[in-house]
Structure formats: C-alpha cells, structure tokens
Amino acid sequence: MTKLTLASYPHMLGFEQLERVLERSAKSGNEGYPPFNIEQTSERSYRITLAVAGFAEDELSITVEDRQLVIRGRQKDDSEGRVFLHRGIAGRQFQRSFVLADGVEVGEALMENGLLHVDLTQAKPETVVQTINIRKG
C-alpha cells in the first residue's frame, strides 16, 4: 500500500510544511505524563494546563523551539538519607511538546496549586485580496 502524502493532491500546493509538522507531532510520543488539559479561553486564546504536583517553579522550563512549545520538568533528588517504607509518588523528569500553528504566540505561565498554566494567543490573520492581471498573448 502506498503512503498518501499531501503532495499526492494537486490542489494542496505549499502544504508540505504542515505534513512535516503532523509527522513530527505523531513521533513525539508524549506517553501521558504529566496529564494536561487544553481549553479555549476566548475566540483567539487558549490555555494549556499541566498537572505538575511536586515540582517547584525552578524545576520547570518552558521554551519555544522551531514552532514547538516544549515544557520540561526535572525534580531534584531529595531522598538522600531518607528511608521509605513505601514509595508511591514518582519523582521523574518529563518533556511535553505542543506544535504551534503560525501566528500562535506563547503568553504568560502561571503556577497555581500544583497546576502549570500556559496561555497562548492567536493573531487574527489579515485578509489579503490580490488581483492578478491577465496579459494578452
């Protein structure tokens, strides 16, 4: 069976970048940790909320790399000298990636009650009308 790509469709000109973004996001395999929500807060704004209980602000980093929002967490190991009878709270690192569309900008980040909120806004695209003159041949 042949893999269909956007280049297979003659009316989809210039969408090769979109195809690369979709493939990159499919390969990211975020594994489900930490859990997150994405909500639309207005017509052109969004909020990503990650459950990061146990992480301090200085153990989290938020970057935008090649139109991709990357949130990383790395907890400091404070178990030295402690004896656990049961250890059920995982202290592990994570990386969550979200592909951003053109025009989406990352706003502020807020830590509240073990939840990390990252606000996004999308610029309203300008409507461009272009008239093409037809030459006589």
In tens, the pLDDT along 24-59 reads: 666 655 568 899 999 999 999 999 999 998 899 999
What does each C-alpha distance from 135 to 70, 129, 131 come to in angstroms?
50, 19, 13
How does pLDDT run across 100-109, given as a tens digit for each residue?
988 899 999 9
Q: Which of 17-21, 108-112, 122-126, 131-135 has the lowest mean pLDDT?
A: 17-21
Answer yes or no: is pLDDT of 13 > 80: no
Q: Are the CB atoms for 32 and 52 separated by under 8 Å? A: no
* Phi, psi (rounded to 5 degrees) for 28: -65, -30
Give me the helices (H) in the chain, please.
16-27
Cβ-contact 33, 94 below 8 angstroms: yes
- In angstroms, the CA 62 to CA 41 distance is 20
CATH of domain 32-77+90-124: 2.60.40.790
Tell me which DSSP letter residue 14 carries. Answer: T
pTM to 2 decimal places: 0.71
- Is-contact 37 120, C-beta < 8 A? no
Where do the domains of the chain lie?
Answer: 32-77+90-124
